[in-house]
Every structure is written in structure tokens, then in C-alpha cells.
Amino acid sequence: MTFVDQLTIICCIDEFDKLTIEETFSERNSQMGQERIQLTDSIKEIVTKMCDGNPGALTALCEIIKDKEIDPPSFCGSIGAILLFDTLGIHGTEIYVLWNDQCHRDTRQLVMLMKACQLGFIGNEKIVAMAKDQMRQHIMSEEELNILDDQVCDALPRFRRRKIKVEGTKENA
């Protein structure tokens, strides 16, 4: 899938309620500093700014936007994780590193990590260090991820539970 194809998909995704987005951006931008996302940005503009031309980041962002069932009651929908990337200064390659290296291209796990950060279960510094870590020195262990996952799912009962692999069978929910 080309960059243009992915941007076309974004344009076809249902737009969020404009008022809700404006209220969310206004709140966030009044508290933050150097974010790229502006109040008036469309989803296409947000993704373009955030991916920094990195096709892996573009794919990760498209996957976040497409999967609305990870955290159904989330106030901002899938845009929440993307806003947090921007707030933390995570863009382009750094989004790709988190999604690919830390989360093994598991979009649910990436959103879970960002929710864990929002809920205070993991520090901003740890997320930023993992995102900037192209040498994989700050990768979280499976045990650490499981603990975070349990904390997020306990705090947010409607957050999609992870699929558990049972030895010798296909994945089970």
C-alpha cells in the first residue's frame, strides 16, 4: 500500500464530531508547548504531520485510527493516543520504533502503552526513551507489559483484552 493509498483511507474514515475535537484540542493546547497538531487540523493533516514522511509511522497511525474497538468509550476515540504522541514529542520514526520494536506491530498493545502512560502506570520518560531507542536498549519485558496490560484493563473495563496464545493452538481471546 502506497503512502497516497494510506492517506486516501484516512480521508474515507468517519470524521469525529468537530465540536468534540475542538474542545479536546483547546484543553490540550492551553496546557502544552510545542505540539504539531492544531485545533483546525483534519485527520489527514494530523497523520501527515505526525508521520514525518515515515511510511512505518503512517501505517501505525492508520491502524490506530481504523481500529475503534480497542477502547470504545474513549472520549477522543483513536485520536487520544495520537494526541499523546504529539504531547510527548513522539513523531515519525519514533512512532514506528514503538509500534514495530516494542509492540511487534500490535496496534492494541501500542494503544495500551499510551493509555498506561495517560493513567500514570508508566512514566512519560519511559515511553519517550522506548520511542527514541533504535538500539532496543529500553525494550520492556513481556512480564512488564503484562502487568501494564492488566492495570489498564482493570482501570478501563471496556478496553479490549489481549489475545492469549495457548501453546499448541491458535490464539484465543
Predicted local confidence at residue 163, as pLDDT:
77
Answer whether 0.85 is exceeded by the pTM. no
- 171: in domain: no
Q: Within a 10 A sphere around the Cβ of 159, how many other Cβ atoms? A: 20
Would you state the cell numbers that stand for residue 146, as one nine-digit string? 503484562
Predicted local confidence at residue 70, as pLDDT:
86
Between CA 97 and CA 154 the distance in angstroms is 27
- 30: in domain: yes
Predicted local confidence at residue 136, as pLDDT:
80
Between CA 70 and CA 68 the distance in angstroms is 6
**CA 144 to centroid of chain Cα atoms:** 18
- 73: in domain: yes
Predicted local confidence at residue 67, as pLDDT:
85
Domains of the chain: total: 1
Predicted local confidence at residue 78, as pLDDT:
74
The CA-atom distances, in angstroms, between 10 and each of 29, 49, 50, 122, 142 are 23, 13, 13, 30, 32
Selection from 139, 134, 135, 57 nearest residue 102 by Cα: 139
Selection from 115, 43, 106 nearest residue 84 by Cα: 115
Predicted local confidence at residue 76, as pLDDT:
74
- 172: in domain: no
Low-confidence ranges of the chain (pLDDT < 70): 1-34, 165-173
Would you state the cell numbers that stand for residue 91, as one nine-digit string? 513523531
Instruction: Identify whether the C-beta of residue 137 lies closer than 8 Å to the C-beta of residue 48.
Output: no
Between CA 87 and CA 133 the distance in angstroms is 18
Query: What's the sign of the alpha-carbon dihedral 75, 76, 77, 81?
Result: negative
* Residue 76 domain boundaries: 3-157
